[in-house]
């Protein structure tokens, strides 16, 4: 039943997207400057002027079904090729401008694409000055007009005179409601970043989970302006969700052996739980091998802390400065290998 429901949900989602796409297209209507053009017909996706059939047409050979299919195949290939070219230009603009990928799903963007398509070639984009002044003022005016329409609709609604309706309206138009909502959104940003790291596959995330978890808590405290009464309940919820999930000995050991965090500040060095976690992992990785356990914890770990040996190489030092998609401290087995063999 669950599998069937999931398939039905996917099908319904696709159908809703298709309907939304069609609705967005219908909402766009660019004035046609070619008013002198008579009735047009659409052939294979291209609008053409209707042709009148004359006497000479009796001598022309009709188009067979095979020819039609061949033409459709050619048109489909051309359409696919042209679409790919347009997608390339779009992707290049998105990447260079740092546009979030989910902006593509925005209905306003889809309407803009439809408007450009209706306008045709030689469309000149708006300038920065136009975006800052006249277009912004027009957008504000349109928003106010839309709000006025919604207020009129609400006044005609039966709920506008009911106690619950009045209470709901007061909440929606309250500045404090939107201020609190904005505060909640700001709180969720670092939490979503942490969740995306856990679920992401850009690079191995094990070595970053606990460190990013601590950074997330700092960001939450900063958003709460360091007011303990505000962030304490939030911290309790975060800690309860993280407990026994991202604070295992393996996570703490990876946090300790991640050069990005260890050499960034003294927080890792001052965390007593990290050393205990390392000893637990050493015993698990090298059971009954006391010589190797001693070598890792008392000799090789000292070199890591003091940046001696391989940890003093310029390549290693430069690689731990910035935490990006190219920086990967490796999994715990590779780190232990470094500690043992160098």
Looking at residue 150, what is its pLDDT? Answer: 85
3-state class (DSSP) for residue 47: strand
Domain boundaries, the chain: 183-341
Looking at residue 132, what is its pLDDT? Answer: 92
Given a contact cutoff of 8 angstroms between Cβ atoms, the answer to whether 138 and 144 are in contact is: no
Given a contact cutoff of 8 angstroms between Cβ atoms, the answer to whether 24 and 114 are in contact is: yes
Given a contact cutoff of 8 angstroms between Cβ atoms, the answer to whether 40 and 49 are in contact is: yes
Looking at residue 310, what is its pLDDT? Answer: 72
pTM: 0.53
Looking at residue 58, what is its pLDDT? Answer: 46
Q: What is the mean pLDDT of each run of 10 residues along the chain (342 residues)?
A: 71 78 66 47 42 48 51 72 88 91 90 89 89 94 89 87 90 91 92 79 72 90 92 91 84 85 83 88 89 86 81 67 59 50 52
- Residue 172's Cβ-side half-sphere holds a number of Cα atoms within 13 Å equal to 11
Q: Tokens 């047009």: give the residue.
A: 40
């Amino acid at each position: 039943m669950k599998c069937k429901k999931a398939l039905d949900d996917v099908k319904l989602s696709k159908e809703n997207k298709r309907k939304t796409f069609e609705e967005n297209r219908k909402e766009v209507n660019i004035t046609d400057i070619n008013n002198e053009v008579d009735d047009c017909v659409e052939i294979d996706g291209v609008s053409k002027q209707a042709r009148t059939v004359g006497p000479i047409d009796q001598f022309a050979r009709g188009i067979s079904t095979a020819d039609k299919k061949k033409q459709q195949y050619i048109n489909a290939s051309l359409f696919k090729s042209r679409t790919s070219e347009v997608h390339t230009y779009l992707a290049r603009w998105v990447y260079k401008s740092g546009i979030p990928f989910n902006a593509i799903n925005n209905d306003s963007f889809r309407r803009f694409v439809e408007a450009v398509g209706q306008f045709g070639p030689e469309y000149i984009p708006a300038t920065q000055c136009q975006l800052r002044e006249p277009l912004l003022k027009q957008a504000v005016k349109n928003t106010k007009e839309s709000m006025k329409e919604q207020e009129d609709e609400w006044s005609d609604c039966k709920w506008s005179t009911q106690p619950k309706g009045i209470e709901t309206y007061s909440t929606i138009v309250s500045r404090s409601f939107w201020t609190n909502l904005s505060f909640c959104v700001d709180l969720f940003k670092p939490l979503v970043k942490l969740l995306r790291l856990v679920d992401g596959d850009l690079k191995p995330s094990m070595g970053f989970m606990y460190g990013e978890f601590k950074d997330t808590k700092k960001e939450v405290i900063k958003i709460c302006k360091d007011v303990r009464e505000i962030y304490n309940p939030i911290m309790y919820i975060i800690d309860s969700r993280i407990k026994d999930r991202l604070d295992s000995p393996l996570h703490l050991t990876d946090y300790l052996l991640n050069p990005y965090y260890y050499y960034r500040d003294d927080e890792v060095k001052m965390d007593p739980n990290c050393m205990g976690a390392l000893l637990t992992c050493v015993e698990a990785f090298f059971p009954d091998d006391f010589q190797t356990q001693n070598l890792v914890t008392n000799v090789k770990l000292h070199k890591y802390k003091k940046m001696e040996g391989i940890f003093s190489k310029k390549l290693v030092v430069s690689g731990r400065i910035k935490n990006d998609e190219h920086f990967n401290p490796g999994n715990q087995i590779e780190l232990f290998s470094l500690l043992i063999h160098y």
